[in-house]
Amino acid sequence: RKEVEQDPGPFNVPEGATVAFNCTYSNSASQSFFWYRQDCRKEPKLLMSVYSSGNEDGRFTAQLNRASQYISLLIRDSKLSDSATYLCVVTQNSNSGYALNFGKGTSLLVTP
Amino acid sequence: DVKVTQSSRYLVKRTGEKVFLECVQDMDHENMFWYRQDPGLGLRLIYFSYDVKMKEKGDIPEGYSVSREKKERFSLILESASTNQTSMYLCASSFRRGLINEQFFGPGTRLTVL
């Protein structure tokens, strides 16, 4: 089983729609969770960290379910500019170092 | 604003050549990382460093080495480039040793090995 799994999509949604992505992880010792956004031919950039209590930033809401080992990203009122690939990142720290696991990304296309 | 720069945006090399990819960050970050990104495979960690002269292998270190002589600079070395090392290479940095925080990525170097 892969460490971090995401549905690659693409998700094609009209402007104004609400869309949700899930990401599952296999290591129950995972400690930190993030969503990154990557535009075509650009580098990934942090969209938001994911906290245990869930967190919201404008139209974006991230949630963590440790029991079921998944994180989610909800985008409300989609804009054309939201079109991108969304990467789920799960990390673990240990005495032997770090483990950084990126999902392969979910592609979102918002259409007029 | 954090800035991570990479020495080249595009690079074409021949099989067997030694290749140096340079990465510089200007925010005094302790952690630095090298990834490669390939279609269908996503981002894969090659090496990372959490301090000067320190390095740790990532998931796919074979065929690569790294050097971190100064805090701001992290170099990726392909000792003898091969065609399967054709890829997009991304460098990243983050602050706070011992804890993974936000990573700031450079613009990437698209390497083609002929």
Each residue of A21-36: pLDDT tens digit? 999 999 888 888 999 9
pLDDT tens per residue, range B16-46: 999 999 999 998 998 899 999 999 888 999 9
Give the per-residue pLDDT at B92. 93
Give the per-residue pLDDT at B50. 87
**CA-to-CA separations, A90 to A24, A51, B24, B63, B89, in angstroms, rounded:** 9, 12, 25, 26, 20
Residues from chain B contacting residue A42 (CB–CB below 8 Å): 107
Residues from chain A contacting residue B55 (CB–CB below 8 Å): none
Band the pLDDT of A47: cuts 50, 70, 90: very high
Mean pLDDT of A75-97: 86
* Distance in Å, alpha carbon of B79 to nearest chain A alpha carbon: 25
CA atoms within 13 A on the CB side of A108: 28
Residues from chain B contacting residue A103 (CB–CB below 8 Å): 42
Residue whose structure tokens are 């945006």: B9
* Tokens at B79, concatenated: 């000792």
Mean pLDDT of A78-91: 95
Residues from chain A contacting residue B93 (CB–CB below 8 Å): none
Regions in chain B scoring below 50 on pLDDT = none
Instruction: Count contacts between A and B (CB, < 8 Å).
Output: 45
CB-nearest to B42 from A31, A42, A102 is A102
Contacts of B74 (CB under 8 A, 6+ apart): B23, B25, B32, B33, B34, B49, B66, B67, B68, B91, B93
What are the start-end ranges of the E strands in chain A?
4-6, 11-14, 19-25, 32-38, 44-49, 55-57, 60-65, 70-75, 84-94, 97-102, 106-111
Give the per-residue pLDDT at B81. 97
User: Parallel, antiparallel, or unpaired for β B109-113 and B56-57?
Assistant: unpaired
The radius of gyration computed from the CA coordinates of chain A, to the nearest angstrom, equals 14
Q: Where does residue B16 fall: left (phi above 0), alpha (psi -120 to 50 degrees), or beta otherwise?
A: left
Residue whose structure tokens are 């090496």: B47
Q: If contacts are CB pairs under 8 Å, which of residues 72-111 in chain B contact chain A?
A: 90, 98-103, 105-108
Which residue does chain B place closest to A92, by CA atoms?
B100
The answer to whether B48 contacts A98, with C-beta atoms less than 8 Å apart, is yes
Which residue does chain A place closest to B103, by CA atoms?
A46
CA–CA dist A68, B76 (Å, integer): 38
Band the pLDDT of A74: cuts 50, 70, 90: very high
Give the per-residue pLDDT at A107. 96
